[in-house]
Structure 1
Amino acid sequence: MPYVNVNDISLYYRIDGAQRADAPWLVLSNALGTDVALWSPQIDTLLRTFRVLRYDTRGLGRSSAPAGPYTIEQLSADVLALLDALGIERVHFCGVSLGGATGMALAARHGERIDRLISVSAPPRNPTSAEIWAERMKQARGGGMPALADAVIARWFSAAFVAREPLVCAAIRDMIRHTDPEGYAGNCAAVASTDLTAELVRIEAPTLILTGTHDAAIAPEAGRALAASIAGARHVELDALHLPNVEQADAFTRAVLNFLNEPRPAASGG
């Protein structure tokens, strides 16, 4: 299996896609408690155009789960170290939830590495109280990952989707249930402490903010406000909760491709 040792951890990654040396790189970054399989609905389409790099965030999937707490600085530094280890200079970046926050941090602080940014269901500042996150961390460490997984499915998907796609939801529930408790708690701490609001003005990459109509973490109006805070950014709303790449997979994939395949505006001449 492909691993790299970076920042004192072992980071799992997977590469699929176009074999052309000039094909653009697209990094996909996961939500809390999930692994590279979260992007299964998109991968067959995206790999026709891009060299797609997926990775398991520290603490999640097959990557190392050192004792936390983690920070958004650590998570973004892991991405940079992975790119450096693979000899990749510049990428498009698409992240959902925790992955979206990681992408915004990278674009604000290391804009020379990010060509285009897609941030999905990711508020720039944690909207949930510190007490709630502390309780989730305590529950995870106390053997409560199965109960947390059930609660997450209810927050992430509409009841109609759960009824219509029970196997998809069961696979994601199982993914969360078997997440390392310390890794889950460490990433909960990263979410709880993240506040990128003051740094949004530093994002210069063309940016797409994508939110679900019924998402409690970042409502559509908050998504529009976030896009308005980033120069030239746009907002797309899909009829979903927190994971539109799963609940509205086809519409999500079209929105991503339309954005990434747009020609760049012509530079103004003098």
Structure 2
Amino acid sequence: MTAPPTIPSSPTATTPSAAPLARIVRGSGPGLLLAHGAGGSARDNWGPLLDDLVTRRTVVAPDFPGSGDSPAEPGELSLDDLADRLVAAADAAGLDTFDLAGYSLGAAVAVRATTRHPGRVRSLLLLAGLAGGSQRFRLLADQAAALAEHPELMARQLLTVVFGRTWVDALPAGRLAELRATLAAAPLPAGFHAQFDLAARADVRAELARIEAPTLVVSTTEDALVAPEQHRALAEGIPGARLVELTAGHLPMVERLPELRELLLGFLAEHPDR
């Protein structure tokens, strides 16, 4: 592994001492930094949108430890550390300022990055985002960890909690059976447990009022994993934030890709490089 890049200093930045995160870097123009969700990866969560995004932005999409091409690391993950390493990935790509989009746990990481590195974020998009403080989510995270060694039960959990009821109910029986088998056969990333443990501990509610960047919060209204109340907490806590709802479960990039693409590209168009 190559040595970590030199990170430009910032009044509030904490220079990461850990190895740089593996990342996708594509496109040209103003920067767009992407933060993925727990148990996902940059390509899993943002891949369906990348071809559209790179025509308008220099996209930097890191993999958190134990996801994608980033190896797992010992010990607990820290929201501060992930936020700093996310910004370090933008630094390594030569991005001084950037738009920032965070999905699920990545939304909490994006919030923390915005408050720890003021002035760097031009605009903020939070998708199906985690605000924190939900005992129900902690129970779901514990359940996910318990099911990790039981692929068939995990597949059922994904189909009933992660995917939206409208989308699942509309699937033909054969397609549902095929999807269930695919989910049961898919290996979990090495960082699955550590990332869900962090998601259960993460809480960014107290810092939302400090965010000054224009913010769009996209709420997935049939989300049974990160409940819509969490999305609304983000929108209500960030001054001037706009809330848009999508009828989908926790994976709108699967269930409502055209609408999600339109929302994201439209929001980016509202905030060109300044």
The count of aligned residue pairs is: 257
* Change over 3 Å in CA distance of 1:10–1:223 after alignment to 2: closer
Matched, 1:187 2:195: yes
- Backbone CA RMSD of aligned residues: 3.2
* Change over 3 Å in CA distance of 1:7–1:189 after alignment to 2: farther
1:1-270 pair list within 5 angstroms:
7-9=17-19, 11-18=21-28, 23-37=29-43, 38-127=45-134, 128=136, 130=138, 132-140=140-148, 143-144=149-150, 147-159=153-165, 161-162=167-168, 163=171, 173=183, 177-180=187-190, 183-220=191-228, 222-262=230-270
What displacement does 1:222 show?
Answer: 4.8
- CA–CA separation in structure 2 for the residues paired with 1:210 and 1:4: 34
- CA–CA separation in structure 2 for the residues paired with 1:151 and 1:116: 34
What displacement does 1:78 show?
Answer: 1.5
- CA–CA separation in structure 2 for the residues paired with 1:83 and 1:244: 25
* Range that drifts further, 74-83 or 6-15: 6-15
Is the Cα–Cα contact under 8 Å of residues 34 and 172 in structure 1 kept in the other structure? Answer: no
Identify unmatched segments of 5+ residues in structure 2: 6-15
SS at the partner of 1:254? helix
Is the Cα–Cα contact under 8 Å of residues 27 and 58 in structure 2 kept in the other structure? Answer: yes
Give per-residue Cα distances to partners, 1:104-162, cap 9 Å, x unaligned.
1111222222111101111311423545534543554xx34664354234322135534
- CA–CA separation in structure 2 for the residues paired with 1:169 and 1:115: 38
Identify unmatched segments of 5+ residues in structure 1: 265-270
* Range that drifts further, 129-138 or 105-114: 129-138
SS at the partner of 1:112? coil
Read off the aligned partner of 1:117 and give its amino acid letter.
L
SS at the partner of 2:32? strand
- CA–CA separation in structure 2 for the residues paired with 1:233 and 1:91: 18
What displacement does 1:80 show?
Answer: 2.0
Give per-residue Cα distances to partners, 1:202-224, cap 9 Å, x unaligned.
11110011011111244445534
Structure 1 vs Structure 2: percent identity of aligned residues? 30
Give per-residue Cα distances to partners, 1:57-101, cap 9 Å, x unaligned.
112122120123212112112212222233222111111101111
Is the Cα–Cα contact under 8 Å of residues 60 and 89 in structure 2 kept in the other structure? Answer: no
Give the TM-score of the pair, scaled to structure 2. 0.81
Is the Cα–Cα contact under 8 Å of residues 17 and 47 in structure 1 kept in the other structure? Answer: yes
What displacement does 1:174 show?
Answer: 7.2
* Change over 3 Å in CA distance of 1:10–1:108 after alignment to 2: closer
Is the Cα–Cα contact under 8 Å of residues 60 and 90 in structure 2 kept in the other structure? Answer: no
* Change over 3 Å in CA distance of 1:76–1:176 after alignment to 2: farther
